Amino acid sequence: MIFSKKTLVTVLCLSAFLVFDVSNAQSKRKSKKQAKSEAAIPKTEAKKKGKIKDYDKVITKDAITDDGLFKTHQVGEKYFFEIPNEYLDTDMLLVSRFAKLPSQLGGGYVNAGTKTNTRLIQWQRFKDKILIKEKSYSAVAQDSLPINISVQNNNYAPTLYAFDIQAISKDSSAVVVDVTSFYGTDVKALSGLPARFRKQYKVRNLDKSRSFINSVKSFPENIEVIQDFTYNASEPPVNTGDETISIQMNQSMILLPKDKMQPRYFDERVGWFTLSKYDYSSEKLKADRKTYIRKWRLVPKDIEAYKRGELVEPVKPIVYYLDPATPEKFRSYMKEGVELWQKAFEAAGFKNAIIAKDPPTKEEDPDFSPEDIRYSVIRYVASTTRNATGPSVSDPRTGEIIESDIIWYHNHLRSYRNRYLLETGASNPSARTLDTPEEEIGEMMKMVIAHEVGHTLGLPHNMAASYAYDVENYRDGAFTQKNGIAATIMDYARYNYIAQPGDQNIRFIRQLGPYDDYAINFGYRYYPEAKSADDEREILDQLVSAKSGDPVYMFGSQGSRFDPRSQTEDIGNNSIKASTYGLSNLKIVAKNLPAWTSDQTNNYDDLGELYGEMLGVWNRYVGHVATHIGGVYEDTKNPSQAGDVYTMVPKTLQKSAMQWLHKNAFASPTWLVDKNILNKIDYAGYTERLRGLQVRQLNRLLNFETLGRLIDYNALDTNNYSALEMLRDLRKGIWSEINSGQNVSVYRRNLQRAYVDQMKYLMTEDMNRARSRKYYNVNQSDVRALVRGELNVLKQRLKAGANSAVNTETKYHYRDALERVNSILDPK
């Protein structure tokens, strides 16, 4: 049910379960603090001198007043806040976001609804001024301890703005300040134009004549201000000759809960978005770094029933509204995507914990705005960007998520249509079209929304989740219909690219999985007996430890560049095998691409677009295999659990990956250079396309980080694959034509020259710029010696090759390569 603004106030007063009972709380505070409030505002010298005016002279009979968190007044062109004394020195959150903006501002990921700043603030009185102070909870200590004095002294809060007190309310319970300049001028703390935008667009200044406060609205827990700002800029994002950038900003200020949510400790074995702080209350010999998860506050309505194991509704469910701009045909899919998470919350003991609603009509709620921080909204953005995101706003004191806006960009489904065709078209007849059936497009949209909702619930990507399933299971219809593509919707595992032509009843699109139930239970299970985060710690540790060793519940960070089990866009527990299946399918798609695109549309636009994306798919499949070389398994665990956290990928598997790369990536994949496609979409650049793809994979092997890991792990155990073995295996495969006496094709010549260039990089790169210096000194390591040794071996092979080559181009190529190697070994 949707309430109007006035009805909402009434409901808030009646509800016994709201976190804030505003009217009751205010009356109680007033009765307890009345004497203190009045004493806090003496008739100062400033009052006597007329700096603080009589209330009626500031807030005149012409004032337009809105009552809520603060009373707000508009008097002519001026805006005033009447701040109750009880809300001085009280934590609030100031959130700035775009309401409207010009096309292309900031690139593809800045849009209406984009959050630009979040600040925890307090309104504080200093003499006859009111200050907005920005507070931080990154360093804390118990108020009762002496060290808290030092924490405060060494974390002094900056002042964002200072206001002169204009008047004092008639009952002395509030102060009045003029906020016109704060909201009406270019205050950097609120601005939607950060320094990089100002530099990029050469912003000169805010044009005051074209800037103004649009509206100020006060609600029981928040105040919403809309600003219209116009800047003079020499190079605006859309240059129409007027040198102008106009934006509309929404400034939300919301009261943070006085009864703080009990935080929950983070466990790195379960993926979660977090916040950290240093607690100086510790009796240890250092400050404790405490990390908490970001989560919504869910409390059972009936705690006794919850204790008995019954499913119970939360006091306050998570509610998402659709953007009024959402096309009607997509609304049902979006709402279903949100409510897919209801089952996961049942694992934590809650029913109907998350709900999706259509946007309210003007009659239902005339004050509804997607920017209003009271509402979590799925924003539908008219943008050519192909993506969706799930940001949120949380209480920096506890990690409680207050609000979130999921961003859906209009063109995003085009990416899903394209990848559906490219990755499943060989085995999925319904994907072989530019007009994907609406039911399947809707299923994709539903799962994208579910993925983004997962982020707003606190879950990051889990790139290890697809490793839970055996590669062959992806060809089993019954298995895929039940389990989908990965153990969680939070993996980047979008489609089943493993299933082969002829496989029956296959599910090709991802879905939620058992890890989602597990993670939500970890984060949202309510423990009535736990009075602190420490009380929950042992319970949570046991919950996670019970799943140890089960790949279904493994978490793999997106930031891992070295664990082949934790990769973006891969599926299955053997990426070498999976990529073999994937390339087999991609070859079928490549052969049929014109028939599925240009033959149907009678133009080459889609053919060119899909061909370019097909090269990207090839690159991903090959990259999944390349990660094995120098790869390290990461198994996050506690000291009480057996086994190592980091283990080198077995030598046999690394050598298999090297052989696979020579066969599928470095032995020219000329099927990608199809004249039936290329001479329809471009006039040149054919060989360059393949060179770029191959070199990218080659350079992943010939880099300091890969070599450093190989050196490290061979030092620990000589049975591990060594850097020398890897370099030898790579050289022999890249330069195999020398030994066989074969002519070298143009594609292989390009690849071999790239090899020489990258070896030169390893020999000469400035170590002040090399990223890998962070964990070893390259100059004093084996890297230079190994590379020099391999170049000397190659030098001898090239001499022999240049004398024996039959093809003139091959002979010239070997001579040129020899000169290049000589110049590296002897720069003089």
Average pLDDT over the chain reads 90
- Tally of CA atoms within 13 A in the half-sphere of 94 that contains its CB: 21
CA distances from 69 to 221, 252, 260, 483, 776 (A): 5, 12, 18, 48, 56
The pLDDT score that the predictor gives to residue 771 is 55
Q: Per-residue pLDDT for 790 more than 70?
A: yes
**Other residues' Cβ atoms within 10 Å of the Cβ of residue 59:** 21
- The single-letter DSSP state of residue 574 is -
Higher-confidence residue of 83 and 771: namely: 83
Q: Per-residue pLDDT for 535 more than 70?
A: yes
AA identity, residue 599: D
Phi/psi for 73 (5° steps) reads -130, 135
pLDDT in tens, 225-263: 999 999 999 999 887 788 999 999 999 999 999 999 999
AA identity, residue 496: N
Q: Tell me the domain boundaries of the chain.
A: 5-256, 628-828
Q: Are 195 and 202 in contact (CB under 8 A)?
A: no
CA distance 187 to 230: 13
pLDDT in tens, 744-757: 999 999 999 999 99
pLDDT in tens, 579-622: 999 999 999 999 999 999 999 999 999 999 999 999 999 999 99
Nearest Cα neighbor of 730 from 714, 754, 766, 709 is 754
By percentage, how much of the chain surpasses pLDDT 90? 76
Q: How confident is the model at residue 411 (pLDDT cuts 50, 70, 90)?
A: confident
- The single-letter DSSP state of residue 666 is I
Look up tokens 């203190």; give the residue: 36
- Strands 159-168 and 129-134 come out as antiparallel
CA distance 24 to 17: 13
Higher-confidence residue of 11 and 184: namely: 184
Q: Per-residue pLDDT for 79 more than 70?
A: yes
Q: Per-residue pLDDT for 544 more than 50?
A: yes
The pLDDT score that the predictor gives to residue 213 is 95
Q: Per-residue pLDDT for 42 more than 70?
A: no
Can you tell me the mean pLDDT for 771-793?
86
Q: How confident is the model at residue 774 (pLDDT cuts 50, 70, 90)?
A: low
CA distance 478 to 401: 38
Q: How confident is the model at residue 139 (pLDDT cuts 50, 70, 90)?
A: confident
**Other residues' Cβ atoms within 10 Å of the Cβ of residue 463:** 27
Q: How confident is the model at residue 28 (pLDDT cuts 50, 70, 90)?
A: very low
Q: Per-residue pLDDT for 4 more than 50?
A: no
pLDDT in tens, 466-493: 999 999 999 999 999 999 999 999 999 9
Q: Where are the alpha helices (DSSP H) in 229-374?
A: 303-307, 328-339, 341-346
Nearest Cα neighbor of 252 from 474, 13, 92, 444 is 92
The pLDDT score that the predictor gives to residue 372 is 87
CA distance 352 to 341: 9
**Token digits for 117?**
């700043």
pLDDT in tens, 299-328: 999 999 999 999 999 999 999 999 999 999
CA distance 252 to 254: 6
**Token digits for 175?**
């102060």
Can you tell me the mean pLDDT for 502-523?
97
CA distance 631 to 214: 56
DSSP 3-state of 605 = helix
The pLDDT score that the predictor gives to residue 768 is 55
CA distance 460 to 146: 38
CA distance 706 to 723: 8
AA identity, residue 477: G
DSSP 3-state of 377 = strand
pLDDT in tens, 93-116: 999 999 999 988 887 778 888 889
pLDDT in tens, 123-133: 999 999 999 99
- Strands 318-322 and 354-357 come out as parallel
The pLDDT score that the predictor gives to residue 152 is 80
Higher-confidence residue of 625 and 33: namely: 625
The pLDDT score that the predictor gives to residue 403 is 94
Angle at 273 between CA 395 and CA 160, to 5 degrees: 35
AA identity, residue 288: D
Q: How confident is the model at residue 562 (pLDDT cuts 50, 70, 90)?
A: very high
Residues in the chain: 828
Least confident interval from 72-86, 93-107, 483-497, 533-547: 93-107
Least confident interval from 188-202, 484-498, 661-675: 188-202
First to last CA, the chain: 81
pLDDT in tens, 696-753: 999 999 999 999 999 999 999 999 999 999 999 999 999 999 988 899 999 999 999 9
Least confident interval from 31-45, 63-77, 513-527: 31-45
DSSP 3-state of 436 = coil
AA identity, residue 719: N
DSSP 3-state of 379 = strand
The pLDDT score that the predictor gives to residue 216 is 95
**Token digits for 337?**
């995507």
The pLDDT score that the predictor gives to residue 7 is 44
CA distances from 799 to 744, 792, 802, 804, 805 (A): 15, 11, 5, 9, 10
pLDDT in tens, 343-396: 999 999 999 999 999 999 889 988 888 888 989 999 888 887 888 888 899 999
Q: Are 745 and 668 in contact (CB under 8 A)?
A: yes
Nearest Cα neighbor of 81 from 185, 225, 229 is 225
The pLDDT score that the predictor gives to residue 33 is 43
pLDDT in tens, 791-800: 999 999 999 9
Look up tokens 């039940």; give the residue: 482
The pLDDT score that the predictor gives to residue 50 is 61
The pLDDT score that the predictor gives to residue 30 is 42
